[in-house]
Every structure is written in structure tokens, then in C-alpha cells.
Structure 1
Amino acid sequence: MSAPDQEYRLPDGGPSIAALPKVSLHDHLDGGLRPSTILELADEAGIALPASDATGLTEWFASAVAGASLVDYLKRFDVTNAVMQTAPALRRVAHEFVLDLAADGVIHGEVRWGPSLHTRGGLSLDEAVEAVQAGFDDATRDLAERGHHVGVGQILCALRNESPVASLEIAQLALRHRVGEGSGGVLGFDIAGPEAGFPPAAHREAFDLLQAEFLPVTVHAGEADGLTSIRGALIDGHALRLGHGVRIADDISILRDTGDATTVGLGPIATWVRDREIALELSPTSNLQTGAFASRGDDFDDHPFDLLYQLGFRVTVNTDNRLMSATSLSRELALLAQAFDYGLDDFERFQQNAAASAFLPLEERDALADRIALGFAEA
């Protein structure tokens, strides 16, 4: 388990944020590779890269996503996916991914990825899922031997710009490998990829199947498209969580501002999401980079995170893509603390929100909540 690149703390000091127990709900496998691993795998496969060393590759990813649209941002995955086309490569990447989560204090991670993007080398969808699970199992076993217990599961993504037949195939794949089925480790399902113009309704057959089989669903929505996309995620996708969901803020209006107090009104979609405690998988740095809240400004502190938190939405903190955004959960929390003057109590609330929204049985969510409470009490 490697140490995090930088130790983050609250502005007034306090414990290392990396040492605090955390839950990661929205983290893409192909967005969290180690640059050194990309270099080695690319060399083995004869793949040309935009940089020849780890530092240069890290800088290339960071510069490539700065100010990018979601569509441009997604092009960076062409590089990472290219080196993830064999079972050994997938197993290694998955193994290292969990080790890096653990180094950042994550005690439960739900890792999403799109199996259909990893079959160009001849792997079947099932073989790809099994390779990733083998890597997760390697890592959790290694960590347990060192006294560090981490729970991790897969969320399989279909691509919203592909056909309904393809998304149904991924839904069926998820059911074959769900937790409790053999050695399966799939916790849920998602659709990802370009959002605008590719509504969840196009994949209704997949979503209906998953609802009938009681497999939880999260849907990317409210990142590069607005309230119509969120509505579709809830109604057509039966989403229990919203992947990002930043633009739920578009359904919140200021009714009165006296200077001393502000009264706001929630529209029907925002009311439903808040009152039903549907988790928002917010990823502040990524949201800034993709322009998800551009109508509100272009600085970190323009993110509607605090507005949503103060209004009682179930906000969670996530990284989205640690490599592309050069970030970690600890860094995201540190940036939020700097922007909105949060403290340890707020950090704990964000983690408890995530634990309550994890795609786990109730007993396991309660146990996770207890671990978080104990960890913060001892901080």
C-alpha cells in the first residue's frame, strides 16, 4: 500500500485527511491507473504514448482535461483503455487501484467500469469481469494480511451512446456476476459516456430487467445535461443514486434574499431527490473541469456543493477519475474545506451519507457506518 503523494489536512491543521475512514462511490477504474503502470503496459503492448515518463504522462493528462467539455474529457480514456485489453493487465490495474484507494483511507469502494471497452484483445465480457474481480480479490487479501480491511465491489457500466442491445447485454452480465453468484463481485449497474442526446429511456429494457431482478442502479446524469436527464435517470433508469447530479441545482430558485437570510424554492425534481435521500455522487474537481456548473462560475467555490449540503441533500464526495483530475478523496475534501470552511464533523457527515447510500445489505451499511464513526472519534 503506497503512501498518498501529498498529506492533506484542514486549513487549521488537525489529523491527516488520508487517515480518516472514507467511502468512495464514484470512481472509474480506467480513470485511476498509475502512470508508471500505463508506461509498462504500453511498452509490453507496443502502444505509443504522448509522453515517455511518468511525470510527463501525468502532466499530459492534467493539461488535456483542463477546461475540456465532457466529450473532450472522455477522449483521455482512449489511452488508458488501450493498455487494459488483456486479463493480466486488467488484474494488475484492479489490484493497484484498490491498494491506492486504501492508501487514501478508503474502507469501502464501489468501482465502475465499462467491460465492453476491454474486449478488443479477444477477452469475452465475462472474462474481463473475472479478471477485474481477481485483481480486487488479490488486493483485499494483501491488505487484510497487513491488518487493513477494505470492501470493494464492481459497478458495471453500459455506454449510453451504444445500442439498447449492448446495454441489455451489460445488464445481463451484471446479473451473472452479482455478489452472491459464485465468485461475483458486482454491486450495481450504471450508464456512462456522452450524456446530452443519449437519454436513459433508450436503455429502458436494461433498466427494467435490473429493477425486476433487484440489482441497484446509479445513472450518470446532471453532469453534461440538465434536469431532463436527471428526470430520465429517476423515471426510466430507476436510479437509486445520481452520478454527479450537479445540475439538480437548476431546480432550485431564490425566492427572497434580504441580505441576512435567503429563502429558496425547490422544484419537483429537486424535491423528490432531496426528500427521498437519493445520493448525489458529486466530484468537485471533475465537475469543474467538465463545466458541469459553468453557469454558476468557473472557480471551485462556485460549485453548488455547499448549497445542496445546506439544503439537506444527501451529498457525497468522490473523485470520478483520479488520474485525469490528479486528485484523491483526501484532496477533494481538503479543497471543499478550503472553499466552504468545513470541519471534521462535515467530513464525517459526507462519509456517513456515502455509507448509507452504498449498494450493500443493511447490516453491512450499518457496520460501515460504525467503522466511520469510530475512526472519526479517534481522529
Structure 2
Amino acid sequence: MADVRPDREQIRRAPKVLLHDHLDGGLRPQTILELADEIGHELPTHESAEALGSWFAEAADSGSLVRYLETFDHTVAVMQTGNALTRVARECVEDLAADGVVYAEIRYAPEQHVSNGLTLDEVVAAVQEGFDLATEAAGGRIVVRQLLTAMRHQARSMEIAELAVVWRDRGVAGFDIAGAEAGYPPTRHLDAFEYLQRENFHFTIHAGEAFGLPSIWQAIQWCGADRLGHGVRIIDDITVADDGVVTLGRLAAYVRDKRIPLEMCPASNVQTGAAESISEHPIGLLTDLGFRVTVNTDNRLMSGTSMTDEMAALVDAFGYTLADLRWFTINAMKSSFLPFDERLAIINDVIKPGYAALARS
């Protein structure tokens, strides 16, 4: 398997694990058009689904995280009813299953979907209904869990953390904070993270995407994050000398040695300016250095991407083989918020046999 460089169809067929994907960043353009028409929401274009999809990708391709986040105004606007949330959640799972994803953790902020009168509990229930419908239709080919996100510029993190714990045995696997990093450090939500730790609950934190090492340091050392959402700026604590000698700073060494998972999203990082290009993305060096690297999509609509696209781009940029993709996938499954025995079952019964079959073919 080590020497097999996969083509795109092999990558699509390979079992994949997705830890960092936003529900409101992965809508089908046709669905946005239809839901917008139902509520009279004005979109940048109503010409066609293809034209709308192109607008999202172009608007997001700005090099600015703040501008990138503005595209969500339209997706969130059409996700304000139970039926809309259930439809979007169902289609999300359908699209992932068709792309070969066998396990996914999908995140969204319930507080952004209550403007038409839904309660937070009703939002989570509607999303779970969509996930359940799609996973049942997929016949066990995919397992999906929710991650409930609090917006870091708001003051509802404790409320959302408590909501996540209430739903922990009904489809919610963890908690997250998201939004613009600059000016909104994770320590603003320390009470929520301390509560989650007391409840023995899992959480990840968006850190080290648009802001540097202090964001990562706070997320880990102050807040106790299990994983880092993006974490790409950990590269700022790594130096490569002219003779090729690599030196890790104290924080980078800690992240690697503690096996703290990095939820890397290459296509998104290029769009927001966190990386110059896929070939220059720190994922290459971090992989070589043995960090717990995982590959993710972030926002499939805004980045015009999929797990197959992300992995194919890495194969083209770094010459990765099936063995490398298997390593990324097992890293992600090990880092998921499923119970250990369930993680192990997917690794041994789905991922390893899937990659072995591809290698034989």
C-alpha cells in the first residue's frame, strides 16, 4: 500500500473521517434557492444553482476570515425553521455518504437558528431528525454526530454547553466555539469549558486559524481543548534552518508530544489567507514531523470542496499515497468524540479493510 498513489476515483471510494465540517457551510445551492424562495430571502443571484454556488466560492475566496464569514448570512437565513434544518441536515449526510465518508462530526451554532421562534432544544432536535433519516437510509454506511458551537463574540457559551450535555446521549458528541478569533480569545468562555470538564464532556476550540500562537496556547493550557479547530498557526512555533534542521518551540513540541489533534482544512485555509497555497500549507511539514494531523472540509459550499477534493489536492501537492491517506483517516477516527470501543470498531471493521481492498485493486 505504501507505494500506491491513488487516483481520484480511488480516493472517492476510500473510507474517510470528517471532524471539522459546518452544517451551515455545506448546503446544496439548489436547496438555498428553494428555501430562500419560500421565505422571500434575497440572494446575490437567483439565476441558477450553479451560479449561486459560484458566487459563494468567489465571495469566500477573499483572503479574509471576516469576509469569508459574511457568506454565512445567506445560509443561516434559510435555516430558521424545523423543516429547513431537518432537510439541510439530511442532505448533508447524504452528500457525505456519497463521498465515502464513514464517520462525521458536524458542527453548527444553535443560537443562530432561533430568529423565527425555535427554541434551542427544537433546533437540536430538528438537526438530529435529519441526521437520523439519512443515516437510516444509508443502511449503516455512515455514522454522524453533532457538535454544538457557541459564537465567541456572543455570551451564550454556558447555555450552549449545558444544551450539549443535555443531548450527549441523543446524538451530540461535543462542543465548540467559533467565529472571528481576533479580539475574542477562548478564555472569555472559560466558565463553559470548566463546566464541560466537570461533566467529563468533549470539546474542540477554533484556534490558530486567523490568529497566532496565543490563541492556541489559551485553547490548550487555559481551556483544556481536546482538539484544535484548524491549529494551522502552530507552524509559527517551528523553525527550519537553512541546512534543513527543524526546531520545535515549547508549544509546538507540547502539541505534538501530547498528540493533540489538529483539524486541518487546507482549501479553507488558502481562502482565508492562513496558507498561501495547498503546496505551501503547513500540513506537509506537520505530517512529516508526526503531529496528529487530520484532513477536513470546513465549509464545503464556500470552499467548493469535499473530502475527496481535499485529499486529491494533497496527493497532487505532496505525492501522498494510499498509506498516507489511511494514516490521516485513522488519526481522525482515533481523535473523534465517539466512545473508544466504537472508534476501534470503525477503524478495524471499516477503515482498515476499506484501504486494504483499494490497495489490492
Percent of counterpart pairs with the same letter? 54
Of 82, 95, 98, which aligns to 2:77?
82
Q: Give the secondary structure class of the aligned counterpart of 1:292.
A: coil
Structure 1 residue 273 displacement after superposition: 0.7
Q: Conserved in 2, the CA contact under 8 Å of 1:174 and 1:189?
A: yes
Selected match of 1:277 from 259, 267, 273: 259
Q: Distance in 2 between the 1:67 and 1:77 partners?
A: 14
2:43 to 40, 49, 60: 49
For 2:223 and 2:178, the matched residues in 1 are separated by 12
CA distance in 2, matches of 1:316, 1:201: 25
Shift of 1:62: 1.1
The match for 1:368 is: 346
Unaligned runs of 5+ in 2: none
TM-fit CA distance, 1:321: 0.2
TM-score where L is the length of structure 2: 0.96
Residue matched to 2:210: 224
Shift of 1:265: 1.1
Distance 1:249 1:159 in 2: 25
Q: Cα offset for 1:18? A: 1.1
Alignment correspondent of 2:316? 338
Q: Deviations over 1:63-106 (max 9, x none)?
A: 10112311110000000000000000000000000000000000
> 1:191-340 alignment to 2 at 5 Å?
191-254=177-240, 256-258=241-243, 262-293=244-275, 298-340=276-318
| Matches of 1:119 and 1:374, distance apart in 2 | 43
Q: What code does the residue aligned with 1:224 have?
A: A
Paired residue for 1:22?
Answer: 16
Alpha-carbon distance in structure 2 between the residues aligned to 1:83 and 1:339: 36
Distance in 2 separating the partners of 1:12 and 1:234: 36
1:190 and 2:176 matched: yes
Give, in whole Å, the separation in 1 of the partners of 2:9 and 2:158.
46
Give the superposed CA RMSD. 1.2
1:116-195 matches, within 5 Å, as 116-144=111-139, 148-163=140-155, 166-178=156-168, 180=169, 184-195=170-181
CA apart distance, 1:257 = 3.4
* Residues 235-267 of structure 1 deviation map (CA, whole Å, 9 limit, x = unaligned): 22211110000000001012x433xxx211111
Aligned 1:350-361 pairs, distance under 5 A: 350-361=328-339
Q: For 2:284 and 2:133, how far apart are their aligned partners in 1?
A: 38
Checking the alignment, whether the CA contact within 8 Å between 2:107 and 2:146 is kept in structure 1 is yes
Alpha-carbon distance in structure 2 between the residues aligned to 1:265 and 1:276: 17
Letter in 2 for 1:23: V
User: 1:23, 1:354 within 8 Å by CA — same for their partners in 2?
Assistant: yes
User: In the TM superposition, what whole-angstrom CA distance separates every residue of 1:115-152 from its partner, at most 9, and x where no partner exists?
Assistant: 000000100000000000010000011111xxx52110
* Superposition deviation, residue 349 in structure 1: 0.3
Q: Write the letter of the residue equivalent to 1:327.
A: T
Give TM-score scaled by structure 1 length: 0.91
Q: Aligned residues, how many?
A: 353
Structure 2 CA distance for aligned equivalents of residues 367 and 316 of structure 1? 19
User: Could you tell me whether the CA contact under 8 Å between 1:26 and 1:281 is conserved in 2?
Assistant: yes
Native 8 Å contact 1:67 1:290 kept in 2: yes
Partner amino acid, structure 2, of 1:376: Y
CA deviations 1:280-336 (Å, max 9, x no partner) are 00000000000113xxxx222110111000001010000000000000000000000
Please say if 1:34 is aligned against 2:17. Answer: no
**Structure 1: runs of 5+ lacking an equivalent:** 1-9
Measured in 2, the distance between the counterparts of 1:14 and 1:218 equals 30
Runs of 4 or more, structure 1, over 2 Å off, are 10-16
